[in-house]
Structure formats: structure tokens, C-alpha cells
A and B are shown apart, each in its own frame.
Chain A
Amino acid sequence: MNQILTILIGSIFVNNFAMSRFYGICPFLGVSKKLETAFGMGMAVTFVMAVASLVAYLVNAFLLIPLELEYLQTIAFILVIAVLVQIVEMVIKKMSPGLYQALGVYLPLITTNCAVLGVAQLNVTEGYNLILSVVNGVASALGYTLSICLFAGIRERLALNNMPKWMEGFTGAMITAGLMAVAFNGFSGLI
């Protein structure tokens, strides 16, 4: 229980995926113009990362380790995660068109995002068991959702303000992201 709490706080705040590990920066900048879409993206990432952690653990524990093929982790994870997300997308499209409308747009974006691959690799290097892997996956994704939503909120406000011409758009966004990363740095040493 203690370990789960440590992982939760560690992954959401201290080692925030976007703000301190710098994973998943592409959608972090790309899908953060509106709070609504940023939240949708965050939820899609949470879903994919939970599933990816689970499957990557299974593949690693029951296929790669018995066959002594640990060096194939990266490529095997890419393959498994990509296939899985594709299948999940198809199933959702058939089973729940509503959910597909909400998440579907973002799913292909993140199939092999480095954040998703990163969480699978991290779970292996940290030596987490099945439950801890999934917890870490969900917690990391929630941390990502938190940072992308905060970022989108700030960008929405910035877009309405009088900015110097050279600060408009991505320049301002980059500086904002940098300042946010500095702020998140304040959590270091918490655990």
C-alpha cells in the first residue's frame, strides 16, 4: 500500500512525465490550445498507458524473460502496444460510438508515443510487478493529464492577452512550458 502511494505521488508530481521526464512533448504542445481537447487527450493517454503497462508486463514476464530475449524489449513493446491500441480502437468504434467520438481522434496520435513506450520501459527497469506496473501507468498518465490541462488553461488565457508580436503562439507556449517545468521542479525531494 505504501509503495502504491509512493508511486502515485512520485509519478503524478515529482517525476511528472511532461514536466520532468519530458516525455510526450509532441502532443503536449500540439493538443494544448483548448482545455477541452487537452483533457480528452489526457484521458486517452491514461487509457492507453494503463493498457500498455499491463500488456508490456505480460509480454516481458511470459515471453521475453523465459526466452532470454530482454534486449528485444523496445521493439517488442512497440509492436505490442501499437497492435493493442489498434484493436482497442476497432472494438470501441463498434461497441461504443460515443466513447469513440470522445477518444477516437486521439488514439492513433498516441499509439507509439514516447510517453507510452517510456512507461513500459520504466516499469521494467524499476522492476514493478503487475499491479504496480498498472498503477504506475495510470499515475504517470494522470500526471500528464494534470500538466497538459494546466498548460492548456494558461495558453487559453494567454491567447486573449496582448502579447508582444514575437511572443505570440509557440514562442510564448515554449516559455510557459519552461516556467511550468521549473515550478514542477519544486516537488523534487518530496519522496
Chain B
Amino acid sequence: MSVSAILIAALVMSVLGLIFGALLGVTGRVFKVPTNEKVEALRACLPGANCGACGFPGCDGYAAAVGEGKAEVGACAVGGPACAAKMAEIMGVTVNESVRMVASVACQGYGDHCKPKGIYEGMTDCVAASMVNSGTKACSYACLGLGTCERACPFDAIHIDPIKQIAVVDEEKCQACKKCVAACPQHVLTMRPAGRKVEVDCHNPEKGIALKEKCDRACIGCEACVKACNFGAIEMENGVPKIDYEKCVGCMACADACPTGAMQADFESRKEAYIDPNKCVGCTLCTKQCKFDAIEGALKQPHKVLGACTGCGLCAEKCPKKAITMRDRRAPRNKLDKVKKAPAAPAAPKAPVAAKTPVNQ
């Protein structure tokens, strides 16, 4: 091979390279997609999990939507308030405080509560199992515990409990991306605000005591919880109670009333009110506040909390002297230990009204 051949080869390749380089440069200019600087800054704030919980196709999609003003900051559940604050700074807006949500498992069909129909030997996947004979358990709404949600979770936040064999959510890790909610063929998973101690752990819409044969923790639709709630926070929806967490104060009276245990509350964390006798001036504001008749005491006398206290904390909020603190319970709640109202008391103010009526006529 002569020197000229080598030179020609080198020349051809260099020229080709140059032409292509120039071509790329020109196309880059001509076909430049105008990227919003804000969008790139916004994208940098986002965690990049591409989970889609915000309702947009991935973090890029959400950043673009916020940049164009089509979406609000703070929809990113994974990034949380820190991320929302950063994004708000870029966009020059203020954040609406959003409540952190977590997934929760609305089923307690484990162990002896809800027995299996038979021995299932198919694929270890809830979708497959749910297609056979409407699920493997006696209740056809039950958590099948084959881990479809566990595999769907990008944050390692939901696991099948090795003993209970049903799904359990790790509230700390849950980022509210709702992938498990979408993946569950039994629709067992729901979203609720994080840190709440009361939840409905059954979603079987059927009614009646016969349900208890399928699962002894089933909601039989008796509405005892609706009646027990003094805050109007529970309504029946599709045959099961639904808690309005904006109204719920966490008093757990509904769980006290539930005959089957479908309404679950973390009684361990239940508090009770304690009135400091040195600070209490006996103004009786708290006795009027208490929806459970759990505070007794006469005017100008130190008040006392009775066993019926649910630990809702209303009195502590209202006490003008800050004499009431919420402390760990010394004893479980006793519904019956409450103020005994004298039946004659309401009669006294009625008397003058009754006397007036004939005069007006």
C-alpha cells in the first residue's frame, strides 16, 4: 500500500468526520427544542423515581407541566414538602400544605379470621389467584397475600407479613405512588393520611351476620361506628364505613363500638386527658366541650377526668389555663364511667317558658 492510499483514506475519513460534525451541529441548531430553564431547574428538584403518582408521565412530564403552569407544585408525593418548597421557590409561588398519604390494607383476613377455600398451587401472583374461583380465601374480597403489591412497589414499602400472610404497609417508606393500589386485583388497598391510628380494615360490601362465617373480622354493615362517632366523621359507602379524616380526631370510639373488629384502632397509642388540679380554676369549659361526658366537676372546683375519656384532646385544646395535658393511659377506656346527668336538671329552665306561652296567646 502506497503512502498516497493511506493519505487518501485518512483524508476521506477526516472530511467525512468534519462534514458529519458540521451536519450534527447545524441540525442541533435548527431542530433545537426550546427547553424552559425553569423546567430544567424544576426537574432537578424532583426525585427521579418516575413513579407517576403526580398523574403525569414521569418526573420530566411533571416538571414540564409545572413549568407551563398547567400543574401545581407539591403534587410530588415522593419528594414531599422539601421538594414542593424548592419548586415553589423556582416558580415564585407559595405551597399549599398537602397531607402526606400512605397506602393501607383494608383486610384482616389472616390466620383463623378468614380461612382458605382450599389449597392453591398456582402461580404465586394475586392476579392469577383471583381469577380462580374468585380468590383463594373464603371472603372473595380478601387480601390473597401472594405479593403482587410487593412486586409493584418501587420503594420497598409494602410486604407480605411472613406470619399473617397478608400485605402490610411500611408507613415510613410509603411514598403514596398508588402503584400497589392499581396492582391489587382484590382492591384491598386504599389511601389514607399518614399517622392516623383509626382505619376501616374491611371492604366487603356485603351485609349481615352471615358474613362472619366467611371472616370473623368482616364489616357486617351494622353502622354501630356511624352512631358512635360524635364528630360526624363516618359515613357508609358501598356497605362499609368511610372515615372522613378531616373530621376524625382519632378518639377511637368507633373502634370501641365495632362488634367484629373491622374498624381497627391502635389502642396502644390511645391517650387520656389529665387535669392538673393546681392549674384548674373550675371554669367548666372542658365539661361542655367533652363529647363523651368524661369530665366531671362543679363550678370553681378542680375537675376530674373519668374513665370514659377517649383521648380526643378537644378539652386540652380549649382549656384557657392550659391545665389539661394528654398523657399515656393508666387504664383502658371504660365507656360506662361517665358523668351521671340528673334527669331533673333540664326541667328548671323550661318552667318560665311554659308560664309565658299562655300570656302571648
Contacts and interface: CB of A to CB of B under 8 A. Distances in A.
Interface residues of A, number: 21
A77 to B, nearest CB: 11
B245 interface: no
Contacts of B125: 160
B27 A90 contact: yes
Query: Which of B9, B28, B32 has most chain A Cβ within 10 Å?
Result: B9
Interface in A66-111: 67, 69, 71-72, 75-76, 79-80, 83, 86-87, 90-91, 93-95, 101
A93 B33 contact: yes
A94 B23 contact: no
Interface in B322-343: none
B311 to A, nearest CB: 46
Contacts of B12: 63, 67, 69, 72
Given A67-B8, A75-B13, A91 B123 contact: no
B24 interface: yes
B128 interface: yes
B17 interface: yes
Interface residues of B, number: 19
A162 interface: yes
Nearest to A91: B31
B13 A72 contact: yes
A22 to B, nearest CB: 29
A91 B125 CA distance: 43
A90 B24 CA distance: 9
Contact of A76 (B16, B27, B124): B16
B20 interface: yes
Given A69-B8, A76-B16, A90 B23 contact: no
Interface in A147-186: 160-162
Interface string A24-63: 0000000000000000000000000000000000000001
A83 B128 contact: no
A79 to B, nearest CB: 6
Contacts of A160: 123-125, 128
B35 to A, nearest CB: 11
12 contacts: A69-B8, A79-B16, A79-B17, A86-B24, A87-B23, A90-B27, A90-B31, A91-B31, A93-B31, A94-B31, A101-B57, A160-B124
